Amino acid sequence: MSALAGGGEVLVTGRTAALAPDLDGVLYESRGRQVLRNVAEPVEIFAVVRVDENAEQLAVDPVCQMVVDPDHAVGRLLVDEKAHYFCSLTCAAAFAQHPERYVQ
């Protein structure tokens, strides 16, 4: 399951999220059903998202719109002196090929 996670992202199964549904300062965002190696059926995956007073310091990946901690981002590209942070190399590559699609 760790191969599905982007930089700084924590993923859990739906079952794990259900066992701890009401943690203070934590939200679970669905990442959909995923096929995992050596598991017969697709598994519902959730990202564990920390909600706190530092939330405004997080960046948004311009490609997939996922929240990214700049300190743990997989990549960073500058366009017009503005830094853009990415959750995965796939998103960084898509942005690098066509930044005009994502910069507004």
How many residues appear in the chain?
Answer: 104
Instruction: Output the DSSP codes for 50-86.
Output: E-STTGGG-EE-TTT--EE-GGG-SEEEEETTEEEEE
From first to last of the 104 residues of the chain, give the pLDDT tens digit: 788 887 778 899 988 888 887 778 888 887 888 999 899 999 999 888 877 655 557 788 898 888 888 888 888 999 998 999 998 888 899 999 999 999 87
What's the predicted TM-score (pTM) here? 0.51
**Nearest of 55, 99, 54 to residue 77 by alpha carbon:** 99
Under 8 Å between Cβ of 68 and 44? no
Q: Which amino acid is residue 4, in one-letter code?
A: L
Q: Which amino acid is residue 80, in one-letter code?
A: D
